[in-house]
């Protein structure tokens, strides 16, 4: 199994799925730059007919995150043609309404399959 990592992101290739876990604070300095580097890595290591699963596990839900996550998802659109599908999973702390609302916004704004999952 190949594994590519950066400070805030982790990519693993397992069987039929390419899994991307995005964790930490999206407002940290340089995080979006690192996300862009990860997208380049995804593009270079695409596997035919794979489903790309993206898991967001973020530490805060401030309004800047909305912009940063949208920026990242727009980049995902650029690799969509190489994939069967892209599934987005939003892991959020129980009771965090801001993150839940953001998840709903993203689900209705992008045509990707999107699920909001509680994290414990």
Per residue in 60-91, pLDDT (tens digit) is 555 566 666 666 666 666 555 555 556 666 55
| Whether pLDDT at 45 is above 60 | no
**Backbone phi and psi for residue 79, each to the nearest 5 degrees, phi listed first:** -100, 0
Mean pLDDT, the chain, whole residue set:
54
pTM surpassing 0.85?
A: no
User: Domains in the chain and their CATH numbers?
Assistant: 3-119 (3.30.750.24)
């Amino acid at each position: 199994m190949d594994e590519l990592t950066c400070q805030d992101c982790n990519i693993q290739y397992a069987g039929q799925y390419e899994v991307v876990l995005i964790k930490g604070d999206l407002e940290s300095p340089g995080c979006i730059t690192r996300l862009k580097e990860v997208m380049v890595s995804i593009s270079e290591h695409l596997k035919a007919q794979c489903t790309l699963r993206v898991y967001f596990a973020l530490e805060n839900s401030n309004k800047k995150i909305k912009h940063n996550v949208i920026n990242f998802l727009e980049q995902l659109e650029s690799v969509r043609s190489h994939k069967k599908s892209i599934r987005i999973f939003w892991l959020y702390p129980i009771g965090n309404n801001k993150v839940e609302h953001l998840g709903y916004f993203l689900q209705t704004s992008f045509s990707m399959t999107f699920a909001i999952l509680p994290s414990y």
